[in-house]
Amino acid sequence: MSTDILLDVQNVTRRFGGLVANSDVSVEVRRGEILGLIGPNGAGKSTLFNLIAGAFPPNEGSIRFEGQDIARLSGPARCRLGIARTFQVPRSFDSMSVLDNVMVGAFAKEPGSAAARRVAYETLAFCGLQQRAPAPAGELTPPEKRRLEVARALATKPKLLLLDEVMTGLTPSEARLGVELVRKVRDQGVTVVMVEHVMEIVMPLVDRAVVLNLGKVLAEGKPRDVVRDDAVITAYLGERHRAA
């Protein structure tokens, strides 16, 4: 059982000043799955996401990736181990072309530029952006920028891909394409953890869901079971239903 755990977050606590953003959170990510990280605003999703990506270290607890404790490793070091991420607000390199953006990612594993360019082209084609390769990244449309984020992260040849609200703000048809892409990524053998707000899109896509609320894990399991969980309904769905 233990061998198919790719990422093991154990009893992690993270405080910002007096605010406890994550309190004693434990999450296991299995190799090859798509895990959804959901919860209402302020639940601590982004904090957990950033702890795994290495934006800041936890105050307590351990984060193990393939058995190695990475809690104190820098972002770049985690990237080399095989963890890649996207940003909620796309952060493209706007003075560079789309291809060059993806090449930066490819250089993480390929020191030579010819090889990196090849990887970048392949990744762009995989993400359906090859037509835009020579365009300046600043000129992409918002959905294209999301794809570029994913392509750039994939070019680092990750084992674990962290997606931060990649579906937010997309039209339903754009979101369907996005879902397709995430499935394709998983079929390549990449494990995916996605933070998502839009339940309707996430639930059919993910294998398992972890629901956070007020910095703690509220529920965990198959999407079908999670949606029926009473605590989840009051904390999250209830609120949403009222809003709708």
Partner 1 sequence: MTDEALNLPPAFGMLPRRRNQLLVAAAVFAAIAVSPFAIKDVYLQNVLVLTLLYAAVSQSWNILGGYCGQISLGHALYFGIGAYATSVLFVTYGIVPWGGMLVGGILSAAIALLLGYPCFRLKGHYFSIATIVIAEIGLLLVHNWDFVGGALGIQWPFGSDSWATLQFARDKVPYIHLALALLAITWFVTFLIEGSRWGYWWRAVKDNPEAAESLGVEIFHSKMAAAAVSAFFTAIGGAFYASFLAYIDPESVMSFRFSLLFALPAVLGGIGTLWGPVVGAAILIPLTEITRSYLGGSGSGIDLIIYGGLIMLVALAKPEGILSLFQGKRQKAEGRS
Partner 2 sequence: MTTQALLQVLASGLLMGLIYALIAVGLSLIFGLMDVVNFAHGEFLMTAMYVVFGLFLFTALDPVLFAPVAAAVLFCVGALAYLGIVRFAMRAKANQGMVQIFATFGLATLLQGAAQYFLTPDYRSIGNSWLGGKTLDLGGVFLPWPQMFGGLVSIAAFGGLYLLMSRTDFGKALEATREDQGAVALVGIDRNRVFALGWGLGAALVGLAGAVLAIFYYIHPQVGATFGLIAYVTVALGGFGSVFGALVAGVIVGLVEALTAAFLPPAMKSLGIFALYLGVVFIRPSGLFGKL
Residue 37: how many other CB atoms lie within 10 Å: 26
Distance CA 76, CA 132 (A): 27
Site membership for partner 1, residue 174 (CB under 8 A):
no
Site membership for partner 2, residue 95 (CB under 8 A):
yes
Q: Which stretch binds partner 1 (CB under 8 A): 25-33, 59-67, 95-103, 198-206?
A: 95-103
Show contacts with partner 1 in window 138-157 (CB under 8 A). 152-153, 156
Q: Hey, what are 36's tokens?
A: 């959804």
Beta strands in the chain (DSSP E): 5-16, 19-30, 34-38, 60-65, 68-69, 83-85, 160-164, 191-195, 208-213, 216-221
- Among 226, 220, 180, CA closest to 203: 226
Q: Which of residues 113 and 234 has its CB atom nearest to partner 1 in the complex?
A: 113
State the sign of the Cα–Cα–Cα–Cα dihedral 53, 58, 62, 68.
Answer: positive
Do residues 206 and 223 touch, judged by C-beta distance below 8 A? Answer: yes
Show contacts with partner 1 in window 103-122 (CB under 8 A). 103-105, 107-108, 111, 113-114, 116-118, 121-122
Site membership for partner 1, residue 199 (CB under 8 A):
no
State the sign of the Cα–Cα–Cα–Cα dihedral 172, 196, 50, 206.
Answer: negative
| Contact pattern from residue 122 through residue 151 relative to partner 2, giving x for each residue in contact according to CB under 8 A and a dash for the rest | ----------------x-------------
Q: Which of residues 142 and 238 has its CB atom nearest to partner 1 in the complex?
A: 142
State the sign of the Cα–Cα–Cα–Cα dihedral 28, 33, 196, 150.
Answer: positive
**Beta carbon of residue 76, minimum distance to partner 1 (angstroms, whole number):** 5
**Beta carbon of residue 89, minimum distance to partner 2 (angstroms, whole number):** 15
23 binds, among partner 1, partner 2, none (CB under 5 to 8 A by kind): none
Distance CA 48, CA 71 (A): 12
Answer for which of 31, 64, 87, 203 binds partner 1 (CB under 8 A) is 87
Which residues bind to partner 1, rule: CB under 8 A?
53, 55, 74-76, 79-80, 84-85, 87, 91-96, 100, 103-105, 107-108, 111, 113-114, 116-118, 121-122, 125, 130, 134-136, 152-153, 156
Which residues bind to partner 2, rule: CB under 8 A?
94-95, 138
